[in-house]
Structure 1
């Protein structure tokens, strides 16, 4: 074998095996995965820029483990070290070994020092992208690197080995270029690409160790077939059908309103950002999928990623998207549900258990087990459904956050209910969209009640243009943006007007009086499906209890303060009894909190709602007469209950701007009906506008101005955190704290105070979960979310990884506790605080 002097450093013929340095083979496996993936995905190649940058990407992928060319790393496997250097004196091995040696940061620093460069130049940035493959961007220091660590002869041999690896990489991937180094910065996607390729190449199922007798130039082609198999079996690559538009995905439906624009406008596919505003129930989800399918057919993205505000809404969307997946990806699309409790969704688990082993021709939606083996991978499937916090983490300095960003960049990102997020979350979402735009990604944002100011912000952030669709803007509206311009499209078919008869009643604490209770029961007795939507869990429990005492009609209760196991059961029953497949004319009453106001497909004849800000009220009213087939005659009707005071009492614990409540109440007291869709624009701009309403007290105006100032501060804080040089964990608890403003809810885990067992049927011993409670399924099924305001009481309880262990006394199917709070729980009512006089 003809070897140059440099290459001879990488060839260990002296061992008698004729083998090459083991660093070469894993590095070439990583390159093989990257090369085949880039070859199959034009969106990935586009994210990397010019074709010549693809060669540089492969060059640096090969160098991602450069820091392993250091005897301190090799000393972590003494048997291997003795095999590599059988004639060396290794008596001082313990002095060489270093637990603190991390080959990622070390590889970056050796790369710089070996070149004589110690500052941030462009090659440094490329190397930094691949050296971060173990998750942290904070790789600029390595305290043990500068001090002598081994005999000078060994240090010099390490240096020459690293140089030989770089020379080999140039020969393999840059044979025809005269460039010493790239002259432009690396794409952000290189960080995530390297991490994922490294994960796959490290899997011995796909890349088993083989006798390393092949030369590096011959070895790489021999591993390309394994790379193809790995990319397919782990669920990262699937062929697309080419079906697109409403006719392709929903052939039995006649497009209407915003759906017609999304399917027919000739210029829409040229856009990269679409903001769809249309009433609740108007088919925005189908319109978004129609547009996304066009972008997939044009090879502008590899996947679709749907982000929703809550786990419940994500679960509901997951069920809908399973039906679409086989149409977009006929060879078994990987549909991934990605949120903190996705493993408890039975539909998702059935896909995971099927894996990607089923025949491709069956066209069923599946989910590769590889994609679900860790949260970092969960967004890499062909169709992903997640909560928004999983998306926002990509903008934050969390470990492997760049893998999330990389996954998003490959996708058509669809964000639902964009009106539902506060200024802090909007700040993070703006940063996510900025990353997505830079990567050449496509995004679709959906809302029924978006403020005009927020729409203009979204468009301006995408292309820097100050544009307005008009004052007032038309509605429904499809706003489109490219890097150069923004434009606005209005459906050519008139949106049907919808009138909701509305009345308002001031009552103490916004609770029903006897006449309201009697009216609710009378409606249900006539066969109506009635909703009572409360702002506070305590109120919902009290109202449901009162109704159950006054009637034998079915009264259901739905809120967030249940164990996960009970809440899942109740949610399924609510969708069955109040969803589109319910039986009309069977009177029953649902008392619920905010869990019923967004994304769940529920339908009611009559509604009673406690006062809330106008955009949220419109979301609730959107659940009236949602499916026309269930309503033969009559108009939707609603009663709003409002506190008589201007500070609105406990309701401001939920909605921290009393001015929004005051203005909404003022508008409601001046009308007997609300005309949609016109009200979406008119009412929301009045309530959220800077100008005071007629007759508005100065104190209310001051409250609104103070709230606006706080919102600006929260938005700024989000941008500061996004750009900070931190290195944070992405655990579920930390994720909730990082992606939401203010204190997040707390988690109670009840256990039997006498037996020291959890309350599951198996009676899991408390001691069995103390070490790592979050890894135990029973903990997640039995835990209960409670308000952050309870923190002062729960501080007295034992706290393990965010789970507050609560000793209780069991009582039938429920339980009670007296310390640190008087509490009781039942599967029907959920968790409630007990007043001491009871």
Structure 2
């Protein structure tokens, strides 16, 4: 057992007084300096308030368990440690950055004078904590505490040993550091050292310390506290400051939007009034409460349109209630699907929440969402969920109690990047829901597996949703979670998921790893079998020729009405298809409405198109009479995920069978609701799959399709569907066998070389993923530095959540005859300027960013850019603008020319979006 800490010093003893001239903060304080001792006490108070007000019950229990103690002791420990985070500022090198009388302090260099203050915190605390009783074997706990505090700027310093730990002189500097440490120790309640410290809990504590520091470093708080400074540096005056700060920090937490958003226990019917639960939802609501007392992982697999989202929200409520995790994070595959989920989650939270608290939307373009506007006032009602300006700043969104966003926001927690502890801390008090888990490639799957491992370590309940998930992928995800929650899994252990019961669900116990599947079959939404036709098309010069086939397939629609979609593999092919249909429809007296949706529209235009399609072709459009009489939607893969569209006919390029089934979820999506009148030609759900005329031959698969999908999977899918000889696909009965069969059936191999290439590519992606992620929890014993080995870069490789998805954002603008730049082709709005610090008005900035377009990166987009593609002077100082690439279109004589980007010629077409021209 460690020895008891020394008796606290007498507060009236001059030898314990602290020099309030030694500072910690001065930037933006109008010439004032904020004393180090006050900042240390503020951070201590903030940690206590955060523990009491912000941390969920489940997160408190996990931290306490990791420290081998009870929650009260753990609360005091993390508060004490938070108060020590800036102790490294008490060195001459830091203090003499401003004009300060340091004549009473030695001028000779100390070990810390050659390192940043965070590193000094680490170096000094390793030995200093011994004076407070941290005397465990090998100094393990002291080293771990010191290292996590040394990482409060987001990067953990390298671990120290007996040879690299510096020795600090016993002088006046040392006295001030010791006095400050004892002061915050006393303020925190003089906690005894922990007898145990599990290293994986350190990032959670580090995240809490960083949050405490951020809160009490706000200029308005510091200036307010300087209005009533302590009378002197004695403990009595300083502890009075500490008590006064505590009340003000409660206000800071509320203003920041960090209050917990909680929901009361409720049945499914109470959670969704007026909504009759289907078989899947009823099964979960009935059976899961008896299984999830310890939380765990729930995997739900069901066809599109089966109400998985509603089921997941109810399951999250059950898991959260059982484990004390009141937060929520819903992870979606794309920004568009995250935007849609934000509206649905906001509606749910409005209906269910007991108190008002911000709900955040997390992706790079979230701030452009007109429904996602910040507020800086305290929520007055439970239905007031607007985010605060504080939460909308970088890296803070996951600190909100409830959030939704792209899966990337969660995956960044397992990249060895700066402040990943803040992201992990933000996730650790929540129930995490991951939708469309099948949408991850082998690289992203490794990242997701590592995330699930760490969520298992922290006993975070998880819900996974999928419509088309291979059983081996499901097993890998479950195994990763259990490896974290149990600590280890024997390599010889049988698979957790040998077979997926589709549709169905399974629950995984976090301690035993026991897997329970839905105990009995349940009824599913009755669906007519899907007719799948393989429709051969000519491939000329390795390019698909769709024109004749599309005229044949769409002629009944043109004559009698109805709604159809044509899904193309690439943006360029979608644009060409839209053009040929537009030319045909122009010949007609009563043409169908024609829509185009892909990723290369300006952001605001894509948002408008998506909203209109969802409004008119979705459930509400049918009920309100907004459904088009006849319409054709041409799109890329962006249409296949989480969009509420109901189509009479679906035409699609060949793609891996799982994606085809996802797309099929838009065909007769709401037939069971009987709200849509089908045209006479649409007698059954039908998906026409366009395939090369020359069957089962790699060399005839269009080259463009091979850039997007692995050729062997296209050939396997073609063969798999051809063998069915036109048999209808029963939904849900046939889904899982098709998804599993694509990979598992060796007789589908039509090109051995292509299959070997695919397996090699998948292996390479997994290897890249393993090289990118942070270690598993067992890999950080006694050393946290592997968790932040890079700040998004390792050598020349950019750490990313999506491999090979390098892109840039381009801004199309227009140059008149005088050389002036305009934001619009009509030359009505000039390209906005920034001030000397790179600032731009909110309206101008939103106008610029809303017109940006993602474009694949290549040698033409790498610095240094051609002069004509560089942003205007001043923009490079703005975070949102500095990395944009300009595409300047010359305007004159009533015509608009193409923009040049190196050897690429591009043109922003009003109907087609950004075209790349030969």
TM-score by length of 2: 0.81
Residue in structure 1 matched with residue 335 of structure 2 by the alignment: 311
Alignment counterpart, residue 646 of structure 1, candidates 698, 715, 718? 698
CA gap of 1:8–1:446, structure 2 versus 1, over 3 A, is: same
Matched, 1:381 2:400: yes
Residue in structure 2 matched with residue 17 of structure 1 by the alignment: none
Q: In terms of mean alpha carbon deviation, does 332-341 or 432-441 score higher? A: 432-441
Does structure 1 conserve the Cα–Cα contact (< 8 Å) formed by 2:453 and 2:482?
no
Matched, 1:740 2:807: no
Q: For 1:724-735, list aligned pairs within 5 A.
A: 724=786, 728-729=790-791
Matched, 1:58 2:75: no
Could you tell me how far apart the structure 2 residues matched to 1:21 and 1:730 are?
A: 33
Q: How many angstroms does 1:681 deviate by?
A: 0.9
Q: For 1:229-248, list aligned pairs within 5 A.
A: 229-238=251-260, 240-248=262-270
Q: How many angstroms does 1:538 deviate by?
A: 1.1
Q: How many angstroms does 1:432 deviate by?
A: 1.4
Could you tell me how far apart the structure 1 residues matched to 2:706 and 2:292 are?
A: 44
Q: How many angstroms does 1:70 deviate by?
A: 1.6
Alignment counterpart, residue 399 of structure 1, candidates 415, 418, 428? 418
Could you tell me how far apart the structure 1 residues matched to 2:804 and 2:396 are?
A: 28
Q: For 1:53-132, list aligned pairs within 5 A.
A: 53-78=74-99, 81-82=100-101, 88=104, 102-114=116-128, 121-132=140-151
Does structure 1 conserve the Cα–Cα contact (< 8 Å) formed by 2:646 and 2:668?
yes
Q: Secondary structure in 1 aligned to 2:532?
A: strand
Residue in structure 2 matched with residue 764 of structure 1 by the alignment: 831
Residue in structure 2 matched with residue 561 of structure 1 by the alignment: 600
Matched, 1:369 2:422: no
Alignment counterpart, residue 805 of structure 1, candidates 886, 889, 896? 886
Residue in structure 1 matched with residue 378 of structure 2 by the alignment: 357
Alignment counterpart, residue 168 of structure 1, candidates 171, 183, 186? 183
Residue in structure 2 matched with residue 483 of structure 1 by the alignment: 511
Alignment counterpart, residue 623 of structure 1, candidates 642, 645, 666? 666
Residue in structure 2 matched with residue 527 of structure 1 by the alignment: 561
Give ranges in structure 2 of 5+ residues lacking alignment: 1-8, 23-32, 484-488, 586-590, 780-785, 872-881
Q: Secondary structure in 1 aligned to 2:530?
A: strand
CA gap of 1:632–1:692, structure 2 versus 1, over 3 A, is: same
Could you tell me how far apart the structure 2 residues matched to 1:386 and 1:7 are?
A: 53
CA gap of 1:381–1:114, structure 2 versus 1, over 3 A, is: closer
Residue in structure 1 matched with residue 529 of structure 2 by the alignment: 499
Q: How many angstroms does 1:338 deviate by?
A: 0.9
Q: Secondary structure in 1 aligned to 2:746?
A: coil
Q: How many angstroms does 1:169 deviate by?
A: 3.6
Q: How many angstroms does 1:60 deviate by?
A: 0.7
Could you tell me how far apart the structure 1 residues matched to 2:436 and 2:50 are?
A: 33
Residue in structure 2 matched with residue 576 of structure 1 by the alignment: 615
Could you tell me how far apart the structure 1 residues matched to 2:252 and 2:527 are?
A: 53
Q: How many angstroms does 1:597 deviate by?
A: 0.8
1:624-656 superposed Cα distances (whole Å, 9 cap, x missing partner): 111123434632111110123424232444434
Matched, 1:451 2:473: no
1:506-552 superposed Cα distances (whole Å, 9 cap, x missing partner): 21244424243243142244221110000111111111111111112
CA gap of 1:134–1:556, structure 2 versus 1, over 3 A, is: same
Q: How many angstroms does 1:824 deviate by?
A: 1.8
Residue in structure 2 matched with residue 416 of structure 1 by the alignment: 435
Q: Secondary structure in 2 aligned to 1:56?
A: helix
Does structure 2 conserve the Cα–Cα contact (< 8 Å) formed by 1:308 and 1:387?
yes
Q: In terms of mean alpha carbon deviation, does 565-574 or 704-713 score higher? A: 704-713
Q: In terms of mean alpha carbon deviation, does 821-830 or 757-766 score higher? A: 757-766
Residue in structure 1 matched with residue 28 of structure 2 by the alignment: none
Q: Secondary structure in 1 aligned to 2:453?
A: helix
Q: In terms of mean alpha carbon deviation, does 261-270 or 279-288 score higher? A: 261-270
Q: Secondary structure in 1 aligned to 2:257?
A: coil
Q: Secondary structure in 1 aligned to 2:215?
A: helix
1:728-755 superposed Cα distances (whole Å, 9 cap, x missing partner): 4469xx9985111124123333333452
1:589-630 superposed Cα distances (whole Å, 9 cap, x missing partner): 100001111011111111110000011111100001111234
Could you tell me how far apart the structure 2 residues matched to 1:338 and 1:774 are?
A: 22
Residue in structure 2 matched with residue 8 of structure 1 by the alignment: 16
Alignment counterpart, residue 211 of structure 1, candidates 226, 229, 247? 229
Q: In terms of mean alpha carbon deviation, does 2-11 or 271-280 score higher? A: 2-11
Could you tell me how far apart the structure 1 residues matched to 2:214 and 2:21 are?
A: 30
Matched, 1:607 2:660: no
Could you tell me how far apart the structure 2 residues matched to 1:175 and 1:834 are?
A: 71
Matched, 1:816 2:898: yes
Q: In terms of mean alpha carbon deviation, does 703-712 or 557-566 score higher? A: 703-712
Q: How many angstroms does 1:793 deviate by?
A: 9.8
CA gap of 1:803–1:364, structure 2 versus 1, over 3 A, is: closer
Does structure 2 conserve the Cα–Cα contact (< 8 Å) formed by 1:474 and 1:490?
no
CA gap of 1:642–1:768, structure 2 versus 1, over 3 A, is: farther
Residue in structure 1 matched with residue 296 of structure 2 by the alignment: 272
Q: Secondary structure in 1 aligned to 2:600?
A: coil
Residue in structure 1 matched with residue 738 of structure 2 by the alignment: 683
Residue in structure 1 matched with residue 311 of structure 2 by the alignment: 287
Residue in structure 2 matched with residue 702 of structure 1 by the alignment: 756
Alignment counterpart, residue 856 of structure 2, candidates 787, 791, 795? 787
CA gap of 1:221–1:503, structure 2 versus 1, over 3 A, is: same
Q: For 1:248-263, list aligned pairs within 5 A.
A: 248-263=270-285
Does structure 1 conserve the Cα–Cα contact (< 8 Å) formed by 2:418 and 2:788?
no
Q: Secondary structure in 2 aligned to 1:190?
A: helix
Could you tell me how far apart the structure 1 residues matched to 2:684 and 2:641 are?
A: 22
CA gap of 1:98–1:11, structure 2 versus 1, over 3 A, is: closer
Does structure 2 conserve the Cα–Cα contact (< 8 Å) formed by 1:797 and 1:804?
no
Could you tell me how far apart the structure 2 residues matched to 1:253 and 1:735 are?
A: 49
Could you tell me how far apart the structure 2 residues matched to 1:574 and 1:736 are?
A: 36
Matched, 1:188 2:221: no
Residue in structure 1 matched with residue 357 of structure 2 by the alignment: 333
Could you tell me how far apart the structure 2 residues matched to 1:239 and 1:563 are?
A: 35
Does structure 2 conserve the Cα–Cα contact (< 8 Å) formed by 1:356 and 1:366?
no
Does structure 2 conserve the Cα–Cα contact (< 8 Å) formed by 1:737 and 1:743?
no
Q: Secondary structure in 1 aligned to 2:803?
A: coil
Q: Secondary structure in 1 aligned to 2:669?
A: coil
CA gap of 1:664–1:412, structure 2 versus 1, over 3 A, is: same
Q: How many angstroms does 1:669 deviate by?
A: 2.0
Q: How many angstroms does 1:320 deviate by?
A: 0.9
Does structure 1 conserve the Cα–Cα contact (< 8 Å) formed by 2:261 and 2:401?
no
CA gap of 1:489–1:89, structure 2 versus 1, over 3 A, is: closer
CA gap of 1:434–1:277, structure 2 versus 1, over 3 A, is: same
Residue in structure 1 matched with residue 874 of structure 2 by the alignment: none
Could you tell me how far apart the structure 1 residues matched to 2:290 and 2:411 are?
A: 30
Residue in structure 1 matched with residue 63 of structure 2 by the alignment: 48
Could you tell me how far apart the structure 2 residues matched to 1:325 and 1:651 are?
A: 43
Does structure 2 conserve the Cα–Cα contact (< 8 Å) formed by 1:6 and 1:160?
no
Question: What is the count of residue pairs matched by the alignment?
Answer: 808
Q: In terms of mean alpha carbon deviation, does 117-126 or 530-539 score higher? A: 117-126
CA gap of 1:59–1:632, structure 2 versus 1, over 3 A, is: same
Could you tell me how far apart the structure 2 residues matched to 1:610 and 1:787 are?
A: 22
1:2-23 superposed Cα distances (whole Å, 9 cap, x missing partner): 5475852426699xxxxx9932
CA gap of 1:129–1:308, structure 2 versus 1, over 3 A, is: same
Q: Secondary structure in 2 aligned to 1:833?
A: strand
TM-score by length of 1: 0.88
